[in-house]
Amino acid sequence: MKHILTTCLGEQHLFFGIGERDSDSVFTRSFSSLAIALAFCLHEKNPFLTVADVHGIKETMLRYINQERDCRGYAVGKGWAHAVAHAADALYNMVCCEVDGTFCFDRIELLEILKAVKTLILCRDCVYTAEEDERLVFVVKAVCANKILTNDDLMAWIDSFNPTDNEWWNGTVPNDYYLHVNRINFLRSLYFYFRSPNNEFETVDPSAIAKHLLTFLV
């Protein structure tokens, strides 16, 4: 499994053709990312990863996310590209990963992962139509389940989605509109997630987070 992971994380798989748009190279990258997600599922049943392994995967995944430029969900005539959704799956399973019964990340690392979620959401090239926002909400769920981040941490991250406070909002049409739709759809999905009565976290108050999110949606 470590050999498979090393292969999937390499330049000829997760980074194959990185930076290209609308080419078939996205399938190699996207399904390498999905294989990484599945490796974490196998680790849960039969542990084989160390904390150092998980940290290394995190660094590689964040580097990949910052470089991925193909945001297609379904590619007509070819099938699911789904790079964003599969990256979300890999992040979710990675954040859920435990080694010797303990989660692997500290506060700074969890904030880095939330920053990667934001990077994926703020796509300017297309509007997500294949529930990418929902898949990324699960990453936030896993981050909260780590019992480290506080209300203030989550609220500060949510505030960073305010377009008036960010350099990425530059008045370009239609790209700013695409970004706006992706942003508001994600925050809406996040709002309803924190409104769910089934969510209980030790360090985060879901009702307070939902109330804060509402200020972005009205």
Angle at which helices 25-45 and 83-96 pack, to 10 degrees?
A: 20
Contact residues for 21 (Cβ-Cβ < 8 A; gap 6+): 69, 70, 125
For the purposes of burial, counting CB atoms within 10 Å of the CB of 136, is it exposed (0-12), middle (13-18) or buried (19 or more)?
A: buried
Query: Is the per-residue pLDDT at 167 higher than 80?
Result: no
Per-residue pLDDT tens over the stretch 173-208: 899 889 999 999 999 999 999 999 888 899 999 999
* Assigned token pair, 15: 């980074």
Query: Is the per-residue pLDDT at 164 higher than 90?
Result: no
Domain boundaries, the chain: 2-217
